[in-house]
Structures are given as C-alpha cells and as structure tokens.
Amino acid sequence: MSFRLNPAPKLPRGGVYWVAYSGGVDSTVLLHRLRTAGLKPLRAIHVHHGLQAAADDWVRHCRRQCRALKIPLRIETVRVQTSGEGPEAAARTARHAAFRKHLKKNDCLVTAHHADDQAETLLLRLLRGSGVRGLAAMRPLSDFAPAKLWRPLLGVSRAGILAHARTHELKWVEDPHNRDPRYSRSWLRQDLMPVLRARYPALIKVLAQAAELNADASDLLNEYGKADLKEVVRGSALHIPSLRALSSVRRHHLLRLWLEQRAQQLPPAKTLTQIDKELLNARADAAPVIGLGKTELRRYRDHLYLLPRMPPVPVGIRIRWNGCGTLNLPEGCGSLRGRSPRAIQGLEVRFPSGGEKLKPLEDAHTRTLKNLCQQAGIPPWIRERLPLIYRDGELIAIADLWRSTAAAQLRFAWSHPLQDIRG
C-alpha cells in the first residue's frame, strides 16, 4: 500500500531535505516513503530529549534504521527547560532549536504531521480561543527560518500510515507520552476524538477542509494587511495618524502583521487595546512605553517604534576621562571615542538630570538640552542616555552632536545602537 505525498518544494542548489525522525511510526513511514521515492539529498535528525528511560534505546533504533536505508543521521541531545511553559511546549522549543542548528537557507525541514494531527491541532486551537490565523492550523509548506518546512503527509490519515508500515514490515518505537492523558493532545486523541468520530465519521476530512478555509481567510487578511502597511510604515516606524484612521479591527491586524515581520510573539487582544489607549491616543508630548517580551513599543511624536528593551537610565553617574581612546558607557548608552592626540585634563562624562544648557558653536543663543533635542528630533529614550562632556565642571559638549566654544578644538564620536532613530 502506498499514498501520494504533498508536492516536494524544489530546493536551490546545495539544499538538503532534513527529516525530523523520532523513530515513531509516523516519521518512520515518512523516511521510508521519501527514500523509496528517491528524494535527494536526504538526511535525518533525531532529537534526544532525555525525557524517557528508553530514550537511549530509541537513539540506537534510529541509527539501525537509517543505516539500513543508507540515510545519514544526526543525533542532537537537548536539555528541556520547562520554566515558563508546559512540558510539551518546552520540548517543542528545544526540538526546534536543535533542528535550526543544522538548517541552512536553502534547506528544508520535513516533518511527519498527517491528517489526524491536523484535525487535533485545529480542535486544540479552537479550545484555546485562537482566531482565523490559528485555525488555519498547519500548512503543507511554510517558513521555518532560515529554511522551509514541508509536511508531505498532511493529506494522509493515521490509518493509512499504519497500513503502510505494516505492509512494508517497518519497525518503530512507541512513546508512552502519546497515550498519557495528562497531555492535552494525548487526551484529545484517546478520549475525545473517538467520540466525535463515532458521531461524525467524516470528522478528519471535514476538519481538514475547515483548516484550508481558515488558511484562505488568513491569507486574504494578510493581503489587506500588507497593503495597509505600505500606507502606514515610515522607515522603521509606524505613522500614528495613519494607524488611527483605520478601524480597530484593521489596525490590530496590521499591528500583528508588523510585529510578526519583526519576529515578535503576537500580542493578545488586551495588549492591542492597551496600545490603542496608552500609545496611539497619548498626548503628543508624552513618552509612553509598553513592554513586549524582550522588546518594547515606544511613541515619539507621530511615530510608533519597536525597540530592544532598554536598561535603566543612568542616574548620578560621573566618569572621569582623558578624552583619548574609547570610553565604554553604562549599559544602553553606547561608547565615546576621543580624537584628541593627547590627554585632556579635567574631563568628566555625565548624563542628563534636567536643566542642562549649552551655547553651541555658531549659535547666538544658549539653549537647553531639551530644546536642542526637540529641534533635532531626538526621542526621549535617546535624549536621557546622551553622554554629556564636562571640563572643570562646565558643560562643553553633548555627545558628538553639539560643542561649545570651549570644545572647538576637541572631537568626540558617539556610538549608540539607536542613534539613527529620529522623529
């Protein structure tokens, strides 16, 4: 008995098909089917989680099977960190990281997800309150940075896979986790699915069709979202008046799409509402911040920025310096490089505390730091980390942006990861 695979993506020159091979029946059938189909170049990866007493035996089994099929095998041993997420999610995170160690841009990861897996995924996401995107479930071909992810068995049932394994007398291992009702997918598979299938015999086919319809709807929404992005994006930021002109539904979809393009975890609906209230509708002179994992959203004037989460602002710090070489500043403030041929006495680097003033070269008036930054369009999060250079207690330079007459012959260069952002 055999079955048709979803069409294989054509790989660029040098690309490799990497099969995620657990040793279970699904990935065993997948490996056998791809090998007999003559797909090349073909390799396998087995991830040793160490979560089962038999895990070492599974490694030996996978090696034997790959030797018999003449397929190169890589074994990746991982340590599953469960803090902050459940054991299933933690194991998946570790597994994906192990796969990515071997994947290159032209490669393709191949997994054994099948039609029953698709149905279970759709139901689980429905029970978790997923939207259209989540209910699109798994795609036959998708991105898995830096490579592609191909699921050739999505149109094949679990029964069809078992029939293929028995017909060809294949050998596989059984993971007891797959029958443990403590895990949501196992409970769904063992307890709920049989009841639903007894009532709805075509359940797997119907749920697969529902996933395809949701995928179409999700793709359509993304087409509209990408068109909206062209109207709203300004360089590295979003134009807030253009955002506010959209309906809330359309705006929230655009924000999710924009964040996804920047490899950010998609925010829940309550966070999008918070963005509307605290960022988009804030006063023009406000500087609100909303954290998103390791990043944060900040508003400056009419623009919304996604930035790395920043360390605390330096307060009361004074650093003596001779104006030569590179001076590493507190975390988040970059570094200063002096271009003086000889040491300068009396230099000290401080940071803004409020009320600083400087009379820049070729300027008739003394100006406050705040006024200078506002005119130059320097956002508050950069302004409050500007290195201020003093000599004998007098402010003579603000980073490499402004110098007074007292610093006319001095040169400084300020390196900062955010210094190119302007409002």
For the segment 179-213, what is each residue's pLDDT rounded down to a tens digit?
778 888 889 999 999 999 999 999 999 999 999 99
Distant-in-sequence, close-in-space partners of 167: CB < 8 Å, separation ≥ 6: 1
Which has the minimum average pLDDT: 10-24, 100-114, 257-271? 257-271
- Which residues are 291's β-sheet partners? 296
Q: Residue 387 CB: number of other CB atoms within 10 A?
A: 26
Report CA torsion sign: 352, 354, 357, 363: positive
Taking residues 26-47, what's their average pLDDT?
96
What's the pLDDT band for 420 if we cut at 50, 70, 90? low
Burial of 58: CB neighbours in 10 Å, binned 0-12, 13-18, 19+? buried
Average pLDDT over the chain, rounded to whole? 91
What's the pLDDT band for 53 if we cut at 50, 70, 90? confident
What's the pLDDT band for 3 if we cut at 50, 70, 90? confident
Distance CA 408, CA 361 (A): 7
pLDDT digits (tens, 9 = 90+) for 367-378: 999 999 999 989
Q: Are 149 and 109 in contact (CB under 8 A)?
A: yes
Taking residues 40-49, what's their average pLDDT?
94
- Which residues are 19's β-sheet partners? 44, 110
- pLDDT for 81 beyond 80: no
What's the pLDDT band for 82 if we cut at 50, 70, 90? low
Cα-flanking dihedrals φ and ψ of residue 39, to 5°? Answer: -70, 130
Pairing of strands 412-415, 402-403: unpaired
What's the pLDDT band for 293 if we cut at 50, 70, 90? confident
Q: How many residues does the chain have?
A: 423
Taking residues 294-322, what's their average pLDDT?
92
Taking residues 374-392, what's their average pLDDT?
93
Which has the minimum average pLDDT: 235-244, 283-292, 317-326, 390-399? 283-292
| Predicted pLDDT at 423 | 41
| Predicted pLDDT at 177 | 75
- pLDDT for 83 beyond 70: no
| Predicted pLDDT at 4 | 84
Instruction: State the amino acid at position 38 in one-letter form.
Output: G
- pLDDT for 421 beyond 60: no
| Predicted pLDDT at 1 | 52
Taking residues 127-143, what's their average pLDDT?
90
- pLDDT for 276 beyond 80: yes
Taking residues 327-337, what's their average pLDDT?
94
